Amino acid sequence: MIALLALSAFNVAHAQDCSTQITSQALDNNLDSVAMGFVEMDLEKVKSGLESIQQTTPCLTEGIESEVAHDYHMLNGLYNYFMGDQESAQNSLRLAKRLAPDKSIPTHLFDDGHEIHTLYSGLEYIELDSEVPVSSRGVYVFNGQTINRPVGTQSIVQIKEGSSIILSAIVEANEALPTAPTIPTVAESTATKTPDTVTDPVEVTTKTNTAQQEKTPQENNNTVSTADISKESDFPWIWTGGVAASSVGYAVTYSQFCGGFDTLYCEQAQQDTRSLQIANYAFLGIGAFSAYKMTRGLKSSAE
């Protein structure tokens, strides 16, 4: 059995939608059908098998080996031979012979006495074009073997970029080569993105005002203005100043009382500090009362 055909197609323009990639195994199954058609001498089966391979070729993203290409060109040449297209048949068989010189036409398809064996043994290798075609991306590879295109016959062509196959097709003799797919530019990639939502300042203001109007009376009553805070807290700046004054006064008197600002380690008070103690306690009282009034004011504004 001829194993593992990996490619064939009439042209990239005839390619089907390749949302699903085709494996080499799937193509090999189609090739088995073609070979069986020859065993059964059912040329319609051979034709449908080749067409199935040709339709799925552009969806293959695996590189092929020269022996795989040999299998395709061998079967395609045999089909053309039985269809009476001798020139195409011989060119396909000449290419198959070049790709795998040690192989011959399988005897399980045609017995040793068949004339096709004599024809095949007398064929010369197909010529290769001396001009190497240049691709905009990657390099062209023909029939899994060379960068030179065979002259005057159908060829399997792939474009290889690094280790990836970015295009697979079959081209007829003298047909223009397919071009590599282009890479989108930065501008094109950006253009496909959904633009960010731009918020209109006027719209934001309108929505804010509407939201404020939609509040319940209870919610509006809970919003306290600066003037209300001042009123409820009895001029909080007075009590804030009282706290600041008491703190400074306490620090000064305590330094006199302890003989310095070592507030954590005041072991013995200075002599004759009775008046300083009274002043210190007075400042502490003012500070405590101020803190109390500030707390009341803040609670009232929050409510």
What value does the mean pLDDT take over residues 60-75? 87
Q: How many CA atoms lie within 13 A of 119 on its CB side?
A: 17
Please indicate, yes or no, whether residues 178 and 220 belong to a single structural domain of this protein.
no
Of all residues in the chain, the percent with pLDDT exceeding 70 is 56
Q: Is the pLDDT of residue 280 over 70?
A: no
Within a domain: 198: no
Please indicate, yes or no, whether residues 147 and 274 belong to a single structural domain of this protein.
no
Which range marks the domain in which residue 268 is found? 215-302
Within a domain: 104: yes
Q: Which of 115, 111, 42 is nearest to 79 (CA)?
A: 42
The string of pLDDT tens digits covering residues 10-53 is 333 344 567 778 776 676 777 778 889 999 999 999 998 888 88
Token pair 């600002």 in the structure block, residue: 261
Q: How many residues does the chain have?
A: 303
Q: Is the pLDDT of residue 55 over 70?
A: yes
Within a domain: 196: no
Please indicate, yes or no, whether residues 167 and 219 belong to a single structural domain of this protein.
no
Please indicate, yes or no, whether residues 296 and 238 belong to a single structural domain of this protein.
yes
Within a domain: 93: yes
Within a domain: 201: no
Whether this prediction's pTM lies above 0.85 is answered by no
Q: Where is pLDDT greater, at 105 or 218?
A: 105
Give the model's pLDDT for residue 231.
45
Please indicate, yes or no, whether residues 179 and 219 belong to a single structural domain of this protein.
no
Q: How many domains does the chain have?
A: 2
What gap in Å lies between CA 200 and CA 195, rounded to an integer? 15
Q: Which of 188, 189, 156, 157 is nearest to 76 (CA)?
A: 156
The string of pLDDT tens digits covering residues 94-133 is 999 999 999 999 998 899 999 999 999 999 999 999 999 9
Please indicate, yes or no, whether residues 35 and 130 belong to a single structural domain of this protein.
yes
Please indicate, yes or no, whether residues 166 and 36 belong to a single structural domain of this protein.
yes
Within a domain: 197: no
Three-state secondary-structure class, residue 169:
strand
| Least reliable range by pLDDT among 49-53, 78-82, 125-129, 178-182 | 49-53
Within a domain: 51: yes
Q: Are 233 and 297 in contact (CB under 8 A)?
A: yes
Please indicate, yes or no, whether residues 29 and 177 belong to a single structural domain of this protein.
yes
Amino acid at 69: A
Instruction: Show contacts of 12-15: CB within 8 Å, 24+ apart.
Output: 12/58, 12/167, 12/169, 12/178, 14/54, 14/55, 14/58, 15/57, 15/58, 15/59, 15/169
Q: Where is pLDDT greater, at 46 or 280?
A: 46
Within a domain: 207: no
Q: Is the pLDDT of residue 212 over 90?
A: no
Token pair 């058609």 in the structure block, residue: 37
Q: Where is pLDDT greater, at 141 or 288?
A: 141
Please indicate, yes or no, whether residues 49 and 125 belong to a single structural domain of this protein.
yes
Burial class from Cβ neighbours inside 10 Å (0-12, 13-18, 19+) for residue 126 reads buried
Instruction: Show contacts of 213-220: CB within 8 Å, 24+ apart.
Output: none
Q: Where is pLDDT greater, at 232 or 47?
A: 47
Residue where a domain terminates, one of 130, 165, 186: 186
Please indicate, yes or no, whether residues 182 and 230 belong to a single structural domain of this protein.
no
Of all residues in the chain, the percent with pLDDT exceeding 90 is 35
Please indicate, yes or no, whether residues 229 and 163 belong to a single structural domain of this protein.
no
Give the model's pLDDT for residue 188.
56
Q: Where is pLDDT greater, at 76 or 225?
A: 76
Give the model's pLDDT for residue 31.
77
Give the model's pLDDT for residue 166.
92
What value does the mean pLDDT take over residues 46-61? 85
Amino acid at 76: N
Give the model's pLDDT for residue 263.
44
Please indicate, yes or no, whether residues 29 and 138 belong to a single structural domain of this protein.
yes
Residue where a domain terminates, one of 146, 168, 186: 186
Give the model's pLDDT for residue 164.
92
Q: Is the pLDDT of residue 193 over 80?
A: no
Q: Are 229 and 218 in contact (CB under 8 A)?
A: no
Strand partners, 156: 170
